[in-house]
Amino acid sequence: MPDTETAIRTRRRVLGDAHVNRAEAAKTAFDAPFQALITDAAWGHVWARDTIPLRECSMMTIALLAGLGNDHELALHLRATRNTGTSEADVMEVILHVAIYASVPRANNAVRIAKETFAAMAAERRP
C-alpha cells in the first residue's frame, strides 16, 4: 500500500505543481476529507502503481472521462498529457474508441474540449 508521500508525488508528477498547489490552497475544512480520499485512492492506489506506464493510465483516464461526460476533469487530464508522455495523436485514438464504445456525441464533445485545451497549451508555450 503506497504512503501519502508517494500519492502526493505522483499527483504532482501527473498534474503538475501549479495545479496541486492551487488545489491545496483552495482546500477547506469542508472538503479536506474528500481531498484526502482522492489523493489516497486515485493517486496512491491507482496512478502510483507500476503495472502500466503513466501514458497508458492517462489514455484510460481520458477515455473514461470523455465517455462519462466529465468535461472539467477531462480538460484537466488533457493538460496532464504534457507530463505523461501522451501525445495528441494518442488522444485522438482514445476519442475514436470513445465514439465507438461510449457515444459519438460524447466523443464529439471530447474533440471540442481537446482542441480548446491543446490550443490553450500551445499559446502558453509561445513567447
Q: Which residues contact 89 (CB under 8 A, 6 or more apart)?
A: none
| 8 A C-beta contact, residue 80 and residue 58 | yes
| 8 A C-beta contact, residue 50 and residue 59 | no
pTM score: 0.93
pLDDT of residue 1: 61
In this structure, CATH architecture of domain 52-127: Up-down Bundle (1.20)
State pLDDT tens for residues 84-107: 999 999 999 999 999 999 999 999
List, by residue range, all CATH 1.20.1290.10 domains of the chain. Answer: 52-127
State pLDDT tens for residues 30-79: 999 999 999 999 999 999 998 999 999 999 999 999 999 999 999 999 99
